[in-house]
Structure 1
Amino acid sequence: MNLLMLGAVMAGSVGAALLFRWVRLPLWPLTGGLVGAAAVNLGFGLEVQIPGGFALAAQLMIGTAIGATIGPDVFKQFARFLAPGTLAVVVVLGAGLLFGWSFAALGLLAPGESMFSLMPGGVAEMVAASIALGYDGAVVVGAHMVRLFAVIWSLPLFLWAAERIYRRWIQ
């Protein structure tokens, strides 16, 4: 692997993340990093693969950062939202299946790629599973990136609306 190409992709990732921070986009480290790395990789026609050990270390760091936020009160809250949370997962999975079948029926995507593209889940996990089963991972990652950015960037608006609705009609 060419270390110069890897360095360029990482520099693009950091640069875009800092730009996203400056314009105050939500989750700027994640979304900026994704956009910057993809822009450099695609813009220069590179095919950079992050070394396995580096990718593993990054995933461990992310998992550690998330796990460190879990305290004893999380389990108390978990008991309260187990039933509604399960219902929400079933509804989201059902919607993913419905849209996946619809996209496949309309000929927009192949059936397998359509299902992997529209199912909830982590981008890496869905792409890895689709590639392992012989589907086009680029299609799956593209669809998930659209979903991820739409959710992350629209979330502040939805939170603002939910807070206003709660204060006005529920509280």
Structure 2
Amino acid sequence: MGSKLVFLAVSFAVGWVVQMLGMPAGWLLGALATGIFWSFFVQKLIFKSELFTVSLALVGISIGFMVIPEELWAYRMLLPAFLLTLALTLAGGILLGKGFEKWAHTTGNTAFFCCLPGGASEVIALSERYHADQRIVAAFHTTRITLFVLVVPLLVGLATGGGVSLPVAVTQPFAADAWLVFLALLGAVVIFCLARFVTFPGAPMFLAIALGFAIHQLLVPEYSMPNIVLGSAQVLIGSLIGMRFDRKTLKELSRIGAASAAALALYVVMSVGLALIFFVLTPLPFFTSLLAIVPAGAAEMASTAAQLELDATAVATLQMLRVLALFIALPFLIKLFAKKENQHAS
């Protein structure tokens, strides 16, 4: 327990320093780098998944404070473009899996589960049932998420000027900040408890956004959520993702060789292309579209959008819908593309 607290404290300190230096999404990237360094050179730590639920809740509550009611109905205009890019994302992931099977000389089921775009926890858990190589599947998804979380916020921040100057804090009384931090923590506890009963993908964040919106509108409409809440959530997210990328993950990828690098590079190219299509078809700016479409996780991309003052609500909504849609489509995709002969392999 003590070693975990020390690690989280160091991640928080590094994230704070990187943020104060003007790095875009500094909280997230500083903690991510700390997690990777710690897992490689200090100690591999195992955290319970509930800690990630807490980070989702804090991100959702922060975004809930930013929701503008008048804009919510306008998001319906994004649905046709979202459905098109979702279909293309699934098709691209399946085609990439076919190529990955040939390049890496893995079984068809291993390649299929590696290249499914999103829902990493569910995909990794299911892969074992279908006798895919779970080590390769876990390594591929861990690296995919780490790569996107490292590269996308950095590129978007630099392109939008998010890292040029130090963040300007909203001026409000210290007592108000302290009260809001308390409400955010209390809200995170509520979401943590509710998440045990409401278990559909993205549920903690959906519930947290709704709770944050209700708190803001009904209790403290004149105040903004302090930056420390979103920053702390990003530290938790970055730390946990970074800690998952360890020597074992690198060893599995090295065992596959250049095929893994090629597949990941094509994943990046595919995501940028899909974001470009979404941008052309909708009124959202390109970098908001990129954060909304790239298969990298709702909390990571939405918190980045919030810090860079982009439309975090749209990003969170579309990311969560993608995960939810994949969860619904997963049984059909498995039936169509998972090879039956591998299901009974020893």
Q: Report the TM-score when normalising by structure 2.
A: 0.39
Q: Distance in 2 between matches of 1:35 and 1:108?
A: 32
1:103, CA displacement in angstroms? 1.6
Show the counterpart of 1:126: 120
2:68 corresponds to which residue?
Answer: 71
Separation in structure 1 between the aligned mates of residue 101 and residue 123 of structure 2, nearest angstrom = 18
- Higher CA-based Rg: 2
> Which residue of 81, 85, 91 corresponds with 1:84?
81
- Displacement after TM superposition at 1:116 (Å): 4.5
Q: Percent identity?
A: 15
CA distance in 2, matches of 1:63, 1:90: 26
Amino acid at match of 2:62: A
CA distance in 2, matches of 1:128, 1:44: 29
**1:17 & 1:112 partners in 2: Cα distance?**
38
The residue that corresponds to 1:43 in the other structure is 41
Aligned twin of 2:260: none
TM-aligned CA deviation for residue 130 of structure 1:
0.4
SS of residue matched to 1:106: helix
Tell me if structure 1 keeps the 8 A contact 2:25–2:157. no
- Give the RMSD, CA atoms, in angstroms: 3.1
Give, as a single letter, the amino acid of the residue that structure 1 aligns with 2:125: I
Deviation at 1:115, TM superposition (A): 4.2
Structure 1 portions without partners, runs of 5+ = 164-171
2:3 to 2, 5, 24: 5
Does the CA contact (< 8 Å) of 2:24 and 2:158 recur in 1? no
Cα drift, residue 54 of structure 1 = 3.6
Q: How far has the Cα of 1:37 moved from its partner?
A: 2.0
What letter is aligned with 1:26? Answer: P
Are 1:105 and 2:102 counterparts? Answer: yes
1:29-40 map, 5 Å: 29-40=27-38
Alignment-mate amino acid for residue 133 of structure 1: S
Structure 2 CA distance for aligned equivalents of residues 70 and 128 of structure 1: 29
| Equivalent AA in structure 2 for residue 77 of structure 1 | A
C-alpha displacement of 1:126: 0.6
Q: Cα deviations across residues 90-141 of structure 1 (Å, max 9, x unaligned)?
A: 22222222222212221176655544544433xxx41353035322223321
Distance in 2 between residues matched to 1:4 and 1:62, nearest whole Å: 26
The 2-side partners of 1:58 and 1:97 are apart by 31
AA at the equivalent of 2:124: S
Are 2:177 and 1:154 aligned?
Answer: no
Alpha-carbon distance change, 53 to 94 in structure 1, aligned in 2, over 3 angstroms: closer
| Offset of residue 75 of structure 1 | 2.6
Are the equivalent residues in 2 in contact too, given 1:116–1:126 (CA < 8 A)?
no
Change (3 A) 1:68 1:118: farther
- Preserved contact between residue 113 and residue 140 of structure 1 (Cα < 8 Å): no
The gaps in structure 2 that reach 5 residues or longer are: 129-133, 162-278, 280-284, 286-346
CA distance in 2, matches of 1:156, 1:53: 29
The 3 A distance-change label for structure 1 pair 70 and 88 is same
Contact 1:16 1:36 in 2 (8 A): yes
Are residues 145 and 91 of structure 1, via their aligned partners in 2, closer, same or farther at CA, if it must alter by over 3 Å?
same
Aligned pair count reads 157
